[in-house]
């Protein structure tokens, strides 16, 4: 189960992860296979965290996706981050780009 920001708990859905990554990757050289592998990898991480007794939050899932997108495609990473982190303007993009360059 995933703990949402609202406090509601919903079942984890790997298809939602894949859909978000697919949207962020639209028009990029990211294959369906890569998207599926990324979603599966996130699900594996979530299962391990749940088995260790951790609360599974949307924040944990979002960060797991971002870490994998960073290695896969930087543009998709920025697109996903802009939605996930609620960017309000160009300064948010500049800040995130600086963080991306540091890693």
CA angle 65, 30, 60 (to 5 degrees): 5
Mean local confidence (pLDDT), 39-43: 96
Domain span including residue 39: 2-102
Q: Check: pTM over 0.85? Answer yes or no.
A: no
Number of domain units in the chain: 1
Q: Taking 80 as the threshold, does the pLDDT of residue 50 lie above it?
A: yes
Q: Taking 90 as the threshold, does the pLDDT of residue 96 lie above it?
A: no
Percentage above 70 pLDDT, the chain = 100
Q: Are 61 and 17 in contact (CB under 8 A)?
A: yes
57 DSSP β-pair partners: 3
Query: Can you give the pLDDT at residue 84?
Result: 77
pLDDT in tens, 63-81: 899 999 999 998 998 888 8
């Amino acid at each position: 189960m995933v703990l949402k920001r609202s406090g509601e708990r919903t079942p984890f859905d790997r298809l939602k992860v894949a859909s978000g990554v697919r949207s962020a990757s639209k028009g990029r050289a990211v294959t369906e296979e890569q998207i599926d592998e990324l979603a599966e990898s996130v699900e594996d991480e979530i299962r391990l965290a749940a088995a260790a007794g951790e609360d599974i939050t949307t924040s944990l899932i979002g960060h797991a996706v971002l870490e994998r997108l960073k290695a896969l495609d930087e543009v998709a990473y920025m697109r996903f981050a802009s939605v996930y982190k609620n960017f309000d303007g160009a300064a948010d993009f500049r800040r995130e780009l600086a963080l991306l360059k540091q890693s």
